[in-house]
Amino acid sequence: QVQLVESGGGLVQPGGSLRLSCAASSPRFPASPMGWYRQAPEKERELVATFTRDRNIIYADSVKGRFTISRDKAMSTVFLQMNNLKPEDTAVYYCTGTYGSVVVWGQGTQVTVAS
């Protein structure tokens, strides 16, 4: 089964930037949709940004203009460039991809925005 491995999380000051990566292991075909969710303490998991099945992009209103989602040419790795980070962006960020009818989640990577 395909596994998704996130990297790039860490501690950053407000206004700083981070770039998250999510690599799929041995995918036979690209995931669709594929994107990022996040979960802050005591809150529900929420959509951050995703490529849809028809190759459009959806962003949460809270990250529009600050975050950018992208994929490599092989469409096996998805990135999330996060700029102008705010304390409210602090959360565990999860990558997810749908392969046919199977939804796969990564293990998550912690992003902490604090001074």
List per-block mean pLDDT (blocks of 10 residues) for the chain, which spans 115 residues. Answer: 93 98 85 94 96 94 98 90 98 95 95 97
**How far is C-alpha 100 from the chain's CA centre?**
20
pLDDT number for residue 74: 83
Name the token pair of 23: 């690599």
Express each pLDDT in 17-47 by its tens digit: 999 999 998 777 788 899 999 999 999 999 9
pLDDT number for residue 41: 92
Residues 90, 114: contact at Cβ < 8 Å? Answer: yes
pLDDT number for residue 55: 86
Residues 50, 97: contact at Cβ < 8 Å? Answer: no
What are the distances in angstroms from CA 35 to CA 13, 14, 15, 114, 115? 24, 24, 23, 25, 28
Query: What residues have CB less than 8 Å from 46, skipping those under 6 apart?
Result: 37, 38, 39, 60
